[in-house]
Amino acid sequence: MSIEKRTIAEFIGTFWLVFGGCGSAVIAAAYPGLGIGFEGVALAFGLTVLTMAYAFGHISGCHLNPAVSLGMYAGGRFRGADLIPYIVAQITGACAGAGTLYIIAIGKRGFELGGFASNGYGSHSPGGYTLMSCFLAEVVLTAFFLLIIMGATDKRAPQALAPVAIGLGLTLIHLVGIPVTNTSVNPARSTGPAMFAGGWALQQLWMFWIAPLLGGAAGGAIYRTLFSEHAEISTESEAPHKPERERLRAA
């Protein structure tokens, strides 16, 4: 598959992740009487990844997340030459998803932008958690997300169920992380809403790049070191899209 088609898939998939996941928080969770709560928001994020994994996993690997792309590279399953194109597609897709959500949201009389589902720490953490707590949570949650992805997409695992495991994994991550940081584990997801919320969301955005990228790289490297078989590791000198590498690799 050409890099153009793969990056288009990443753009569309990340658009859907931000529009669906953040949209559930901005529109559905905020609607009086609907009551989906943060549990519903967590499920929405998991469903966006699950659905896009089945739609685009065979095309781009369905990373939808710079931390996942970096983690897959650290885990030996992604070409370094494709990192920048993927990350650019993910960021632009996230911003487009947030922009579309913003246009819809402001159509409601009395709508207040607020944090616009942005991620934050300290006084902008939903539960008032400190910078150190939020940083550690994002590193650990992203690292485990990569372990889930690497394990679920290992050729020794049941491949047809990989998107289910990854989607449910992201749901669990949100159930833990929403009270702490509103859950990022994805620099693109954090960037899209922050571009429209501005102010503190942009000022704190640095943390939601550094922590997930560290966690993603750590998770990918840990799985490669401890659990992968040598034959499963693709390198830059190998063909980048051998059949076994075109199995679902969602994120």
3 state SS for the chain: CCHHHHHHHHHHHHHHHHHHHHHHHHHHCCCCCCCCHHHHHHHHHHHHHHHHHHHHHHHHCCCCCHHHHHHHHHCCCCCHHHHHHHHHHHHHHHHHHHHHHHHHHCCCCCCCCCCCCCCCCHHHCCCCCCHHHHHHHHHHHHHHHHHHHHHHCCCCCCHHHHHHHHHHHHHHHHHHHHHHHCCCCCHHHHHHHHHHHCCHHHHCCCHHHHHHHHHHHHHHHHHHHHCCCHHHCCCCCCCCCCHHHHCCCCC
- Specify whether the CB–CB gap between 183 and 177 falls below 8 A: yes
Mean pLDDT of 80-102: 98
Q: How many alpha carbons fall within 13 Å on the CB side of residue 47?
A: 12
**Poorest-pLDDT segment among 24-33, 60-69, 74-83, 156-165:** 24-33
**Residue appearing with tokens 């065979």:** 58
Task: Give the per-residue pLDDT at 30.
Answer: 73
* Closest C-alpha to 76, from 221, 213, 249, 214: 221
Count of residues in the chain:
251
Tell me what the mean pLDDT of segment 91-118 comes to. Answer: 95
Q: Helix 83-105 and helix 187-197: axis angle, to 10°?
A: 40
Domain annotation for the chain: domains and CATH numbers: 3-246 (1.20.1080.10)
pLDDT > 70? residue 240: no
- Is the pLDDT reported for residue 242 higher than 70? no
pLDDT of residue 247: 40
Q: Give me the pLDDT at residue 230, please.
A: 63
pLDDT of 231 strictly over 50: no
Burial 42-61 (b: 16+ CB within 10 A, else e): bbbbbbbbbbbbbbbbebbb
User: pLDDT tens, 17-59?
Assistant: 999 999 999 998 777 777 788 999 999 999 999 999 999 999 9
pLDDT in tens, 167-226: 999 999 999 999 999 999 999 999 999 999 999 999 999 999 999 999 999 999 999 999
Output the average pLDDT for the chain. 91
User: Rounded to an integer, what distance in angstroms lies between the CA atom of residue 98 and that of residue 17?
Assistant: 10
Burial of 114 per CB tally in 10 Å (0-12, 13-18, 19+):
exposed
Which bin fits 154, alpha (ψ -120 to 50), beta or left (φ > 0)? Answer: beta
With a cut of 70, say whether residue 237 has pLDDT above it: no
The pTM of the full predicted model, rounded to 2 decimals, is: 0.90
pLDDT at 244 over 60: no
| Mean pLDDT computed over 74-92 | 97
Question: 120 vs 246, which has greater pLDDT?
Answer: 120
Which is higher by pLDDT, 238 or 13? 13
pLDDT (average), residues 136-158:
96
